[in-house]
Structures are given as C-alpha cells and as structure tokens.
C-alpha cells in the first residue's frame, strides 16, 4: 500500500456548479494527496455526484479544479483520462453487448502496449476472480454486483493515477456490498489513489484516510476517516446512531 504523500493530485477550491439557475454545489474546497483514500459522504442531493462530474471535466463550473498541478478548465474527460484521472460512474455503465474481456480491452483504449494490456487483463482476473469465470459472457447479462466489479476493473485497465468511485455499493445486496468494499480496499492496497463518493458512510469512513461531509452543496465537516466515524454529529446524521 502506498503511504499518503505530500503530493497533491487533486485540489478543488471554491467549486460552484449550477443547474438551470439552481446552485447544486456552493463553494466546495477539498484535496486528495497521492496514496490516499479520501471519501465524500452525504445524503441524496447533497452535491456529491455533481462535484465528481465537475472534477472529471463533464460539467461546467466556477472556481478552481487543479489535477497534477494544472487547471482542468477547458480540458475534456478524454484529456483527463489520458492523464490518469478516471471515474467509475454511479450506475456502472458497462458495455452491455460486449463480453467481459471486450469491456476490459475498452478500458485500455488510451494504451498502445498490447503485451501490457494482455498482462493487465490477467491481473484483473486475479483481483476479480468472478470475472475470469465469466470472461466470455455479455456484460449486460451479469448481476449488478458483477457489473460493478467489471466497471472497476475496466477503469483500472487505464492505469489511473486517481480513481474516482461514485456510489459503488448502490443497489447491491448486502453480500455484494461486502465484496465491493473488499475490492475497494484491495485496489487501494495496490497503491491506487481513490476518491470515493458513498452513501454507506460507516463503511466508507472505516476505509478512508480522510473524509469530507457534504450537505446542501457545502462541505460541513472534514477530518481523518476514523475521527469522523466516531463523531457524534456524523453518527446521528448519517449512521442512525
């Protein structure tokens, strides 16, 4: 596992995003350092996914977002993927009529190293054994949890410097939620820096080096994951305790 460093991969300052005159994100500051697992928690409608979409260059925004020390303004999602900023969106978005292997190959579309791509597909099968068992199956015929694994594996095929995960456990059975969080932990252990948006606050904070709490478009609290997990306000608002 990579130890968090002083290198700031992602810096968000004064981020504002509006939809049709309604401000969904109202001035967010956050950062992710190399080697960290950072989580962003909050209720539905808090602005978490909107923040992620702005970071990936898919929504216009006001404020400043810097990735690898450079502003992302004017850069599209394609440019950012080339630079190692990759997102697994809420809802997974696998290529339903392609096989698992074909989906993994699509994840490596920015790469030219055929031998490396083949080796990384084998590595993904090591991390996600269930995908190996179903490698020739059409992605659209898999369960929700299996599709989530495939979406994560496909993202890893692009060799990300920063992996953004948007609600990876949403809509999954309790057993599959356990498995997905195991996979997130294992991917982090490989040295991948992760920004995790997750409604399952207790599981996310238990894994995270640091966390941010978002409410009504604003960051209301931040700190070490374990500290937030034990905070009475967080427990009352998000953990039902």
Instruction: Tell me the mean pLDDT in the region 91-102.
Output: 91
Domain residue extents for the chain: 8-93+143-238
pLDDT surpassing 60 at residue 62: yes
Instruction: Tell me the mean pLDDT in the region 115-124.
Output: 96
- Nearest alpha carbon to residue 158 among 125, 189, 117: 117
Instruction: Tell me the mean pLDDT in the region 180-187.
Output: 93
Buried/exposed 114-150: b ≥16 CB within 10 Å, e otherwise: eeebeebbeebbebbeebeebeeebbeebeebbbbbb
Instruction: Tell me the mean pLDDT in the region 207-232.
Output: 96
pLDDT band at 238 (very low <50, low <70, confident <90, very high): confident
pLDDT surpassing 60 at residue 90: yes
Q: What is the pLDDT of residues 146-176, one digit of tens each?
A: 999 999 999 999 999 999 999 999 989 999 9
pLDDT band at 241 (very low <50, low <70, confident <90, very high): low
| Helix residue spans in 61-200 (DSSP H) | 77-82, 100-107, 114-127, 129-133, 144-156, 174-189
Instruction: Tell me the mean pLDDT in the region 5-34.
Output: 94
pLDDT surpassing 80 at residue 64: yes
- Cα 176 to chain centroid distance, Å, stands at 17
CA–CA separation, 33 and 55 (whole Å) = 15
pLDDT band at 2 (very low <50, low <70, confident <90, very high): low
- CA torsion through residues 174, 175, 180, 183, sign: positive
pLDDT surpassing 80 at residue 3: no
CA–CA separation, 218 and 207 (whole Å) = 23
Q: What is the pLDDT of residues 44-61, one digit of tens each?
A: 889 999 999 999 999 999
pLDDT at position 129 is 93
Instruction: Tell me the mean pLDDT in the region 211-215.
Output: 96
Instruction: Tell me the mean pLDDT in the region 86-108.
Output: 92
* Averaged pLDDT of the chain: 93
Q: Please give the CATH superfamily to which domain 8-93+143-238 belongs.
A: P-loop containing nucleotide triphosphate hydrolases (3.40.50.300)
Instruction: Tell me the mean pLDDT in the region 62-80.
Output: 94
């Amino acid at each position: 596992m990579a130890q968090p460093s002083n290198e700031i991969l992602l810096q968000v300052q004064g981020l504002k995003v509006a939809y049709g005159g309604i401000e969904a994100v109202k001035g967010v500051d956050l950062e992710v350092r190399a080697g960290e697992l950072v989580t962003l928690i909050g209720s539905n409608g808090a602005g978490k996914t909107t923040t992620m979409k702005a970071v990936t260059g898919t929504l216009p925004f006001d404020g400043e977002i810097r990735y690898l020390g450079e502003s992302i303004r004017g850069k599209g999602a394609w440019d950012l993927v080339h630079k190692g900023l990759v997102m697994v969106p809420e809802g997974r978005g696998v290529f339903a009529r392609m096989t698992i292997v074909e989906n993994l190959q699509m994840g490596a579309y920015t790469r030219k190293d055929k031998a490396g791509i083949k080796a990384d597909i084998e590595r993904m099968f090591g991390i996600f054994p269930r995908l190996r068992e179903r490698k020739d199956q059409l992605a659209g015929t898999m369960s929700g949890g299996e599709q989530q694994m495939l979406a994560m594996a496909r993202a890893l095929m692009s060799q990300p410097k920063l992996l953004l995960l948007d609600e990876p456990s949403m809509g999954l059975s309790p057993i599959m939620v356990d498995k997905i969080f195991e996979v997130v932990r294992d991917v982090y252990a490989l040295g991948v820096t992760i920004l995790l948006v997750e409604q399952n606050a207790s599981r996310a904070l238990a894994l995270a080096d640091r966390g941010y709490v978002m409410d009504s478009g604003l960051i209301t609290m931040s700190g070490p994951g374990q500290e937030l997990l034990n905070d009475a306000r967080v427990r009352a608002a998000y953990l039902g305790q």
